[in-house]
Amino acid sequence: MPKTTAGISKEPGNSADNKVRRKPEGISRRGFLTAGNLLGIVAGTAAVSLISLGQPKRSYAQRPPGALAEMKFISRCIKCGQCIRSCPYDSILMAEPGSGIAPGTPYIVSRKIPCYMCPDIPCVAACPSGALDKGLTDINESRMGLAVLTDRETCIALKGFRCEVCYNACPLIGKALTLEYWVNPRTGKHSIFEPVIHSDACTGCGKCEHTCILDKTAIKVLDIASTKGLLGSHYRIGWERERL
pLDDT tens profile 85-132: 999 999 999 999 988 999 999 999 999 999 999 999 999 999 999 999
User: By the 8 A CB rule, do 91 and 108 touch?
Assistant: yes
Query: Which pLDDT score, from 0 to 100, does residue 8 have?
Result: 46
Q: What is the C-alpha separation between 220 and 208, in angstroms, rounded?
A: 8
Identify whether residues 62 and 137 lie together within a single domain.
Answer: yes
Identify whether residues 223 and 157 lie together within a single domain.
Answer: yes
Identify whether residues 199 and 153 lie together within a single domain.
Answer: yes
Identify whether residues 132 and 192 lie together within a single domain.
Answer: no
Identify whether residues 222 and 192 lie together within a single domain.
Answer: yes
- Domain with 183, as residue range(s), is 145-228
SS3 35: helix
Identify whether residues 86 and 137 lie together within a single domain.
Answer: yes
DSSP one-letter string for 185-212: TTTSSSEEEEEEE-TTT-----HHHHH-
Structural domain includes residue 159: yes
User: By the 8 A CB rule, do 104 and 168 touch?
Assistant: no
Query: Which pLDDT score, from 0 to 100, does residue 172 have?
Result: 98
**Amino acid symbol at 129:** S
Structural domain includes residue 161: yes
Identify whether residues 60 and 136 lie together within a single domain.
Answer: yes
Report the residue count for the chain. 244
Average the pLDDT over 173-197 and give the result.
90
Identify whether residues 150 and 75 lie together within a single domain.
Answer: no
Structural domain includes residue 198: yes
Domain end marker among 142, 161, 179: 142
Report the number of secondary-structure helices (H) and strands (E) in the chain: 9, 8
Domain end marker among 116, 142, 168: 142
Structural domain includes residue 207: yes
Quote the pTM value.
0.73
Structural domain includes residue 38: no
User: By the 8 A CB rule, do 121 and 66 touch?
Assistant: yes
pLDDT confidence band for 48 (50 / 70 / 90): very low
Domain end marker among 94, 118, 142: 142
Count of the separate structural domains present in the chain:
2
Q: Among 145, 144, 194, 139, which Cα is nearest to 171's? A: 139
Structural domain includes residue 34: no
Number of other residues whose CB lies within 10 A of the CB of residue 131: 24
Number of other residues whose CB lies within 10 A of the CB of residue 17: 5
CATH for 65? 3.30.70
Average the pLDDT over 29-51 and give the result.
51
**Statement: residue 52 has pLDDT above 50:** no
User: By the 8 A CB rule, do 179 and 193 touch?
Assistant: yes
Q: How far is CA 216 from CA 111, 195, 225, in A?
A: 9, 17, 24
Structural domain includes residue 60: yes
Q: What is the C-alpha separation between 78 and 102, in angstroms, rounded?
A: 11
Identify whether residues 161 and 211 lie together within a single domain.
Answer: yes
CA-based radius of gyration for the chain: 32
* Range list of β-strands (E), 85-141: 92-94, 106-108
- 64-87 pLDDT, tens digit per residue, is 999 999 999 999 999 999 999 999
CATH for 169? 3.30.70.20
Structural domain includes residue 4: no
Identify whether residues 155 and 208 lie together within a single domain.
Answer: yes
Q: What is the C-alpha separation between 163 and 153, in angstroms, rounded?
A: 14
Dihedral angle sign, alpha carbons of residues 233, 239, 243, 244? positive
User: By the 8 A CB rule, do 203 and 140 touch?
Assistant: yes
